[in-house]
Structure 1
Amino acid sequence: MSQPVTRPPARYDDLSAVFLNCTLTRSPGLSHTQTLMNLSVELMRSVGVAVTNVRAVDHDIAPGVQPDMTEHGFDRDDWPAIQRQVMDADILVIGTPIWLGEKSSVATRVVERLYSFSGELTPDGQYAYYGRVGGVLVTGNEDGVKHCAMNLLYSLQHLGFVIPPQADAGWIGEVGPGASYGDPSEDGGPPIGFDNDFTNRNTTFMTWNLLHLARILKDAGGIPAYGNQRPQWFEGERFGFANPEYR
């Protein structure tokens, strides 16, 4: 039987995280998604991580796949400021409710705008998101937690984020209209979902795995540059690759 580990293996107080809440509800309205995200936020803050919460719907985020859409016909675009927060952080967590089995429309726009920066490069010639880790939290009262997480985690890794094990968690209530995460319990017990061991466990595991992997990447200076530098590829470097047709 494995021995219990009773304390964290490292310090995390030099790490930072951005939590992007893709609820459809503007502040100060109650966001059930934020209520779940707060579990991870508070755990990170308890070990000294600097956490920034962004409720995307509170901002005027223009549609599009360019870094600043004011350069493409829009009068206002709040995304560049949010993008800077993402780039200054070691960890990104996207939270979304489920609507018709899918992530929210706000989450779709957030992914599109994250994609708008994916062509930027680091000084080493790697894609700009390299060296950061990503996770996902999902809430709803219908099926779709794993579907939404699958979609968002694929998007994050495709952009260059590193995804640790167990990088998602969620809560869904009984299928159909009903109570949402954090709503008062009719019998006077804990708020809805707060005593769900599956959600609490997976949220905790996700949070620590994000922290551990962010620690590893920061200490290692990110992902090694050899084999993934776009300028060098365009200049003819093939990093050991040989096309079978031309051998």
Structure 2
Amino acid sequence: MTDFADLRALYINCTLKRSPDRSNTEGLIDVSARIMEKNGVAVSHIRAVDHDIATGVWPDMTEHGWERDEWPALQERVMAADILVLAGPIWLGDNSSVMKRVIERLYANSSVLNDSGQYAYYGRVGGALITGNEDGIKHCAMNILYSLQHIGYSIPPQADAGWIGEAGPGPSYLDPGSGGPENDFTNRNTTFMTWNLMHLARLLKSAGGFPVHGNQRSEWDAGCRFDFENPEYR
């Protein structure tokens, strides 16, 4: 059995409900988190709406006119995690406003470099969990996973899962009789996603991160071109 005991995972719940209100998204998060915990992964959770996260695309928005911004402290927890799972509900067929804000603030730190001169999110893996009672799981997951890979996260196969009830108003994931927690399709996909996140994180951490060559911003800025040739000058 692979040893995952040195891995750390962070789930950011982008529900619109403040604690202690029940979050259906949290119910699905718990399915995935329990698998990780059973395998020794240190798991932590953030419910983003409980925090004063300023709007913007700078690392610390108090430097840009905001009186309060808790994101810099949350960003430290992001950087301490090998695995990041963004989870949230579907509203009007799209990700929640809270999810959009979290992705914007992750993007704000995407220009930071690690010790190897790569973008700082390199060597970490990302996934997505979606809940709702209307269509849109794939659309929401596509946006999340594209955003994560764009800023440097590695995305394993089957890196998303979700649950929706019947189209239109109806029970949410944790509501009695919804069928959500018993749904085999959702449980299978959530389990596969969780294991694939752990496997890829294990591979990357054992390798010392994402391979270094051809992707170092610091070297590109210093003039190295990694075999690039401008066809205009051939």
TM-score by length of 1: 0.94
Q: 1:238 aligns with which of 199, 220, 225?
A: 225
Give the conservation status (yes or no) of the 8 Å contact 1:227–1:239. yes
Q: Output the CA distance in 1 between the equivalents of 2:180 and 2:210.
A: 37
Q: Output the CA distance in 2 between the equivalents of 1:208 and 1:52.
A: 17
Q: Output the CA distance in 2 between the equivalents of 1:211 and 1:235.
A: 35
* Counterpart in the other structure of 1:104: 96
Q: Deviations over 1:55-113 (max 9, x none)?
A: 00000000000101111111110101110001001000000100000000000000000
Q: Output the CA distance in 1 between the equivalents of 2:4 and 2:220.
A: 35
Q: Output the CA distance in 2 between the equivalents of 1:184 and 1:21.
A: 22
Query: 1:1-247 to 2 correspondence within 5 Å?
Result: 9-185=1-177, 192-247=179-234
Q: Secondary structure at the match of 1:17?
A: strand
* TM-fit CA distance, 1:194: 1.3
TM-score by length of 2: 0.99
Q: Output the CA distance in 1 between the equivalents of 2:181 and 2:51.
A: 29
Gaps of 5+ in 1: 1-8, 186-190
Q: Secondary structure at the match of 2:209?
A: coil
* TM-fit CA distance, 1:226: 0.8
AA aligned opposite 2:58 = Q
Identity %: 66
* Counterpart in the other structure of 1:188: none
AA aligned opposite 1:39 = V
Give the conservation status (yes or no) of the 8 Å contact 1:180–1:192. no
Dislocated runs of 4+, deviation >3 Å: none
Number of equivalences: 234
AA aligned opposite 1:33 = T
Q: Secondary structure at the match of 2:66?
A: coil
